[in-house]
Amino acid sequence: MKKLLLSTMLLASMMFVFTSCEKDAAIVQDTMTSTGEDFTALQTITEDMDQEFDLTLDGLVEGTVEDRSNCVTVTMDKPLGEYPNTITLDYGTGCTARNGRELSGKIIVTISDDPKNPGATRTLTFVDFTVDGASVDGTNTWVNNGDAAGYPCFSRTVDKTITFPNGTSASFTGSHDLCKIEGADTPERLDDVYEINGSVTGTNRAGNSFSAFITTGLIKPRTCFNITQGIVELTRGANTAILDYGDGTCDRIATITLPDGTTKDILLKAWWR
């Protein structure tokens, strides 16, 4: 009888440990998935807003404001081509931008010099700004580093927080190196292709810290509003996941490989809606 009781207790203990391990593993996978979603939201909005400003700048002709998107109102402290200058992009209470995103609020851009000149800086600051219902705070700062390996290259520091409609928030800070690997020899922006490298640290919407290191350069064509290629290693504690942006196809999907080897698709835009 005692042996039977001991065996039953041992079996129950083993089942409890096994069930606990399964739950812990599931929590890890869920946490890494949400971290991947938060990182892609932060990274995609960073690229989107840089591109939104570049395309808006294309709409400024000979010191006059030309609104190509019928969405943003643009004002400048000085005529176009004079530096330093401050350019304000005002999306009012909400409108649909070129990339299909719903934007509201302002982006204030300070530029020290002609962006084509080495050493020139530009900083995007977000004021009461929302993207698809999510609030965005922080800055993107670019510095022109001149040519490297025959390409114009820039450094970018990012400090950004997204507050989602449900009240949770995610943030990251860090630096990127960007090189224009295509399109540098033409005045057009839509044939530009950037390669992005670097790393950030951040906090996901559950308050967990993470780091993200670009192991294969992210490819961002100006003809696509999303990153189309590249690999990022996401680390949270002892766990690592791999985020793959794809094969160059312009779509809104990335794939995350979780610590247990399973894969999931992550939407690059407005997955919270």
Distances (CA, A) of 36 to 222, 254, 264: 23, 9, 10
Higher pLDDT among residues 144 and 64, named by residue: 144
64-69-72-73 Cα dihedral, nearest 10 degrees: 20
Mean pLDDT of 12-16: 51
Give, for 44, the enclosing helix (H) or strand (E): helix 2-58
Mean pLDDT of 219-241: 95
- Indicate the pTM of the whole model: 0.87
How is residue 114 written in tokens?
């002609």
In whole angstroms, what is the distance from residue 65 CA to residue 50 CA?
19
pLDDT at 99: 83
pLDDT surpassing 60 at residue 62: no
Mean pLDDT of 178-194: 88
pLDDT at 149: 74
Q: Which of 21-35, 89-103, 138-152, 169-183 has the lowest mean pLDDT?
A: 21-35
pLDDT per position as a tens digit, 151-180:
899 999 999 999 999 999 999 999 999 999
Residue 178's SS3 state is strand
pLDDT surpassing 80 at residue 138: yes
Mean pLDDT of 145-154: 88
pLDDT at 21: 44
Distances (CA, A) of 43 to 38, 174, 176, 254: 9, 11, 11, 12
pLDDT surpassing 80 at residue 3: no
